[in-house]
Amino acid sequence: MDKFVIEGGERLKGTVRISGSKNAALPLLAATILHKGVYNIGNVPRLRDVTTMARLIGVLGGSVEWVNDQTLRVDSRNVENYIAPYELVKEMRASVLVLGSLVGGLRKATVSYPGGCAIGERPINLHLKGLSALGCEVKIREGYVDVVAKNLRGSKVYFDTTTVGGTENILMAAVVAKGETTIYNAAREPEVVDLACMLKRMGAKIEGEGTGVIRIKGVDSLTPCDYEVIPDRIETGTFLVACGITRGNITIEGCIPSHVKAVTDKLKEAGMDIVEDQNTIKASMFNKRPISVDVKTIPYPGFPTDMQAQIMALMTIAKGVSATTETIFENRMMHVAELRRMGADIKVIGNTAIVKGVKVLSGAKVMASDLRASASLIIAGLAAYGITEVSRIYHVDRGYESIEKKLRELGAKIVRRKDENMGS
């Protein structure tokens, strides 16, 4: 097992290029099962979760290979197996995204029922409710969800909670269902829009993606396509916050500024100067201490839950007192206890963290509990006085491509080391 060793105190300076989005790439890869053929998916980040999805497609009968640095070639012509096994789903919950594409492509799916994870229970009841509405027979047995779609037909699907994965699964099944489907209270996240764009390139008829109501007209057949994944908005936000906490001055290239508006808005409030161009953000903190700002996580276009831990790290050294409220996941405050070990003054009341900014954090040995919590601890370490060791960084490797290399290029002192105490 690896750990990061960070010597804090370096102001970030320079240029960083953003990778393709993890949370867009995973459903796009799943969508290749919907119609048998050869797909070239570009701008795919090299991450552990992407490898897990590739392994899953392999188990289903497809083949996946890198054809250049960031392009994955998926051949789904031999996909005949419809069972997503426990061993892979337990490694990555997003494996559940093959539910919609298997139902659409093979008219049946048996997918291990995903358990909860560090950040919450994360049920899939709404995915299943949506599939039932489309005429699927859904059964749970022996830890698996069994879906048979003899008569896949369009319908009205209401989500009482906005769900990104649920919207994606229903989209994939509905594009080949007979008749029209309307998804109400659909997720509006850019990753959902990216999936809809790829499906449209395959010949699907979809309207309203990016709004709360998506209308789909089922088509008889699709065609394979080539596609480019959008840039990762959470990676973009993470580098912006890292710049803020180190009072730095950086340029972020290859991003989509409109996708991170909720984050840049908050950072401006916190005192950051932000200049946006088409695919570039220039951010400067003018060597000033940030000002405390309140944050509440809300589905897109609100402030993303996937940036909550990182902005809280920034608030730990900000001037004033702030409240960070998590409304999406019930247990996404695991980083708080670790940030406290670095000297942060945080009190949690219900789902709100009250953060009293301190002048300086001190380096400590801390442990990552999930992907975004790890990013938050790295960010805190960049600003802390002394050495911070972040262990269990396999979480980081799931979702940030070459994070230490990119941070080093911006001047951070961060190295990856074997963690002798954690086994391998």
Tokens of 249: 């001055």
Neighbours of 94 (CB within 10 A): 24
* Residue for token pair 């990762």: 232
State in angstroms the smallest separation of the CB of 275 from ligand EPU: 27
Strand-pairing partners, residue 296, are 325
Residue 75 vs residues 5, 50, 175, 280, 392: alpha-carbon distances, Å: 40, 16, 20, 34, 34
Contacts (Cβ under 8 Å, ≥6 apart) of 121: 330
Closer to ligand EPU by CB, 53 or 270: give it.
53
Our answer to whether residue 136 is catalytic in this structure is: no
Distance in Å from the first CA to the final CA of the chain? 4
> Which candidate, 1, 5, 2, places its Cα nearest to that of 364?
5
Closer to ligand EPU by CB, 314 or 364: give it.
314
Rounded Cα gap, residues 422 and 64, in angstroms: 32
State in angstroms the smallest separation of the CB of 192 from ligand EPU: 9
State in angstroms the smallest separation of the CB of 277 from ligand EPU: 26
State in angstroms the smallest separation of the CB of 232 from ligand EPU: 9
Count of positions (residues) in the chain: 424
Q: What angle do CA 358, 362, 364 make, to 5 degrees?
A: 135
State in angstroms the smallest separation of the CB of 29 from ligand EPU: 11
* Residue for token pair 């801390």: 366
> Which candidate, 167, 136, 166, 138, places its Cα nearest to that of 152?
136
Closer to ligand EPU by CB, 23 or 76: give it.
23
Closer to ligand EPU by CB, 280 or 331: give it.
331
Rounded Cα gap, residues 392 and 412, in angstroms: 20
Beta strands 226-228; 38-42: pairing state: parallel
| Interacting residues with ligand EPU (CB under 6 A) | 23, 26, 94, 120, 122-127, 161, 163-166, 187, 191, 305-306, 328-329, 371-372, 399
Closer to ligand EPU by CB, 99 or 245: give it.
99
Rounded Cα gap, residues 283 and 277, in angstroms: 12
Catalytic residue, chosen from 117, 197, 243, 255, is 117
DSSP reduced 3-state for 400: coil
158 phi, psi to nearest 5 deg: -105, 125
Closer to ligand EPU by CB, 3 or 22: give it.
22
State in angstroms the smallest separation of the CB of 333 from ligand EPU: 14
State in angstroms the smallest separation of the CB of 125 from ligand EPU: 5
Closer to ligand EPU by CB, 292 or 308: give it.
308
| Closest residue to ligand EPU, based on beta-carbon distance | 165
Helix (H), strand (E) at residue 4: strand 2-7
State in angstroms the smallest separation of the CB of 320 from ligand EPU: 27
Closer to ligand EPU by CB, 64 or 328: give it.
328
Rg value, the chain, Cα: 21
Check: CB of residue 383 under 8 Å from CB of residue 362. no
Rounded Cα gap, residues 18 and 37, in angstroms: 29
Tokens of 145: 């969800």
* Residues labelled catalytic: 117
